[in-house]
């Protein structure tokens, strides 16, 4: 995906509200199921993680080094997709305390 297209997708997803914790959990589970069923391979998972890392990096703090920030994001994604790390309970908001 080209950088300008990635920016448009980033904005559209944010507008729709797909940045939810539940969406991330679902993606991790779906990815694991597709690999287990032989539908996609590890190369596809790498491309998925690359797309996620690029999108997250679009909103990195200006004070953060781009290379260091992306490396941190990629390490976290590797841990999440491998099952070595799990997502926390999600954000706590005034609308959904303790959810």
Please give the pLDDT value at position 32: 92
38-52, 63-77, 78-92: range with highest mean pLDDT: 38-52
Please give the pLDDT value at position 91: 47
Statement: residue 35 has pLDDT above 80: yes
The pLDDT of 39-62, averaged and rounded, is 92
Statement: residue 41 has pLDDT above 90: yes
Long-range residue pairs from 20-23, CB within 8 A, at least 24 positions apart, any chain: 20/90, 21/87, 21/89, 21/90, 21/91, 22/90
- Give the pLDDT band (50/70/90) at residue 18: low
CA separation for the pair 23, 81 (Å, rounded): 14
Give me the helices (H) in 18-65, please. 21-36, 42-57
Domain boundaries defined on the chain: 3-82
CA separation for the pair 17, 23 (Å, rounded): 10
Total-model pTM: 0.67
């Amino acid at each position: 995906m080209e950088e300008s297209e990635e920016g448009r997708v980033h904005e559209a997803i944010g507008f729709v509200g797909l940045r939810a914790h539940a969406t991330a959990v679902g993606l991790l589970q779906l990815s694991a199921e597709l690999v287990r069923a032989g539908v996609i391979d590890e190369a596809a998972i790498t491309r998925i993680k690359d797309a996620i890392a690029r999108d997250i990096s679009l909103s990195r703090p200006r004070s953060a080094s781009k290379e260091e920030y992306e490396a941190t994001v990629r390490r976290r994604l590797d841990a999440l997709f491998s099952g070595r790390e799990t997502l926390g309970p999600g954000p706590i908001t005034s609308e959904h305390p303790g959810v």
